[in-house]
Structure 1
Amino acid sequence: MADRVHPLQPPEPTAATTVTQNPPESPVSSSDAFIPKPGPPPGTYVIQVPKDVILRTPPPANASRAKAYARRAARRRGCCCLVLAGLGALIFLLAVAAGVIFLVFRPRAPRYSIDALSVASFNLSDATVSPVFEATVRADNPNKKVGIYYRDGSDVKVSYDGVTLSEGAWPTFYHPPRNVTVFVSELKGAGILLSSDNRRALVKANSEGKVPLGMSIKVPIKVKFGAVRSWTIKVKVNCDVTVDKLTEKAKIVSKDCRVKVKVLGFFGL
């Protein structure tokens, strides 16, 4: 029997025999890789705008509207400047007028004092008190050329240790220059409830002959400078008065009055 001949199988390639060939790369010159990009010409600059921002030229209608707004704003600024300039000039003229009046008339604050203070219906044994005070006030106008008009709306109070005992009003009259006017103002209280401490203190002060009382006066006035009158001015007077007893025949032991003038307006005709 003849022997069969088998065909030989080609040997399998191994890792050692595997060869990978890469396609040839095109040669790159080193001088081409480092060529700088051309920059902007001298004296110019570049603005980078994002892609989502769209810049458009406004239509002519909007441009004319913007110019109209600018003209209106300029007119407003001009009007404000004129108003401020007018106010400044007015304030300056008023200040000059006030200075001239002060130099010509030399105004001085009036002086006040309490010459007498009688007390009635002040019974400390009652639960409530309803005292009646009659205050004799001396008003002195030391000015040579300045008169004083005392107006309605005054408020006069007598108090003890911060508790108002009686209230009244200042009379309305004209106080001429270099004049002393004495008048009596009646002040009444009704159903005043005193604390036990205040009651004991008043009883003790009355027995010792030294009862300290406070008198506050608020009165509106107008000042006359020749033919010129001022607007309303507030005068405040605070007096500390000590009497020997709370009766109609009370005598003043000590007194002290302080005057404060508050100007509310400028001078007018």
Structure 2
Amino acid sequence: MADRVHPMKMQESATPDAPENPRSTASSTTCSLPVRKPTPAPGTYVVQVPKDVILRQPPPGNAHLAKVYARRATCRRSRCCLCLAWLVALLFLLAIAAGVLYLVFRPRAPRYTVDDLSISSFNLSAATLSPVFDVAVRADNQRNKKVGIYYGDGSDITAAYDGVTLCEGKWPAFYQPPRNETVFVTELRGTGLRLAAEVEQALTAAQRQGKVPLEVSVKVPVRVKFGAVRSWTIKVKVRCEVTVDGLRENAVILSRDCSVKVKKVLGFLGL
């Protein structure tokens, strides 16, 4: 008997067999789905940007302002450079003018001395002192042949012992022409002065020895006249170390030494 041939089922042949490797099927299925990005939670975030990016690349909206600010900074630098150049030129011209004044006028600082000193109302046994000093000062401007001096208001003269001020007064205001020597007397007064015990003892001992050292200090504003030109007001300081034989009227001056200091702005002129 001939063998029977059984026809194959079309449905089974049309349907593919189940895959032997299930992992490959799962991976192909996963790749076909769209990938969703995680949504950040609401909140505040800090974004760090390099410093050079901020300075070199301003935001588009502020680019015009950045150019304006840069232009202004350039203008300021130019103005500063111009002002500095003018200042240097001015100082150079002043130095030249000072040199010309020095060569033409040859200014010299005047000499000052204390010629006489009379002391009254100085009683060390009293509870309070009110001394009166009559000081004769000699201002010698004979060394200057073309330079005059204006002594202005606002001066101050003091007489002191061992740093303790005894009395005060004023320097008179006047004009001293070139090649001139002027002697004037000014009064210095002290009121209600109380000396410390050690100062009183030292002053009493010095008077017994017949040698009382005193300090006469002067501060006076002056203006220097170079021909028809006057300088600005400067401060002149005079300090005299004077030793007298006693605190009395018509005291005898045993020694004197005066020094002069002028503001440095005219020091290069020899004053």
TM-score norm. by structure 2 comes to: 0.75
Shift of 1:52: 7.9
* AA partner of residue 181 (structure 1): T
Correspondence for 2:170: 169
Q: Secondary structure at the match of 2:263?
A: strand
2:219 maps to 218
**AA at the equivalent of 1:128:** T
Residues 140/63 of structure 1: CA separation in 2 closer, same or farther (3 Å cut):
same
Q: Say what the alpha-carbon RMSD is for the aligned residues.
A: 2.4
Residues in 1 aligned to 2:61 and 2:162: alpha-carbon distance in whole angstroms = 77
2:84 is aligned with 1:76: no
Match for residue 18 of structure 1? none
Structure 1 residue identity aligned to 2:71 = R
Question: CA offsets, 1:114-157, max 9 Å, x none?
Answer: 01100000011111111100001010012010000000000000
Shifted more, 73-82 versus 175-184: the winner is 73-82
Aligned pair count reads 217
Secondary structure of 2:203's aligned partner: helix
**2:114 match:** 114
3-state SS in 2 of match to 1:129: coil
2: CA distance, partners of 1:53 / 1:125: 86
Hey, what does 1:147 align to over in structure 2?
Answer: 148
Q: Which amino acid aligns with 1:220?
A: P
Structure having the higher helix fraction is 2
Tell me, in whole angstroms, the C-alpha distance in 2 between the residues paired with 1:253 and 1:68.
77
Change (3 A) 1:219 1:61: same
Q: 1:265 to 1:78 in 2, by over 3 A?
A: farther
The Cα shift of 1:263 comes to 4.6
Shift of 1:102: 1.1
- How many percent identity over aligned positions? 65
Tell me by how many angstroms 1:65 deviates.
3.0
Q: Distance in 1 between matches of 2:87 and 2:119?
A: 54
**Residue equivalent to 2:93:** 93
- SS of 2:201's partner is helix
State the AA in 2 paired with 1:188. Answer: R
Counterpart residue type for residue 219 of structure 2: K
Range with greater deviation from structure 2 (160-169 or 204-213)? 204-213
Identify if the C-alpha distance between structure 1 residues 172 and 263 changes in structure 2 by more than 3 Å, giving closer, same or farther. farther
Shift in CA distance, 58/159, structure 1 to aligned 2, threshold 3 Å = closer
C-alpha spacing 1:140/1:59, structure 2 compared with 1 (3 Å):
closer
Mean CA deviation greater in 157-166 or 57-66: 57-66
The aligned runs of 1:258-269 (5 Å cut-off) are 258-263=259-264
* Corresponding residue of 2:28: none
What is aligned with 1:235?
Answer: 236
Q: How does 1:46-85 map to 2 (within 5 A)?
A: 61-85=61-85
Q: What is the match of residue 105 of structure 1?
A: 105
1:138–1:180 Cα contact (<8 Å) kept: yes
Of the structure 1 ranges 192-201 and 104-113, higher mean CA displacement relative to structure 2 is found in 192-201
Match of 1:44 in 2: none
Are residues 59 and 240 of structure 1, via their aligned partners in 2, closer, same or farther at CA, if it must alter by over 3 Å?
closer
Deviation at 1:61, TM superposition (A): 4.4
Where does 1:196-207 land on structure 2 (aligned, <5 Å)?
196-207=197-208
Q: Distance in 1 between matches of 2:49 and 2:211?
A: 90
Other structure's SS at 1:66 match: helix
Closer, same or farther in 2 for the Cα pair 1:107/1:265, shift >3 Å? Answer: closer
- Measure, in 1, the Cα distance between the counterparts of 2:175 and 2:66: 64
**Per-residue displacement from partner, 1:238-266 (whole Å, max 9, x unpaired)?**
11111111111211011111111115689
Contact 1:239 1:258 in 2 (8 A): yes
Q: How far apart are residue 84 of structure 1 and its match?
A: 1.1
Distance 2:97 2:115 in 1: 38
SS at match of 1:73: helix
Cα displacement string for residues 188-247 of structure 1 (whole angstroms, at most 9, x for unaligned residues): 001111112222222222122111111100000000001111101111011111111111
Give, in angstroms, the shift of residue 100 of structure 1.
1.0
Change (3 A) 1:52 1:65: closer
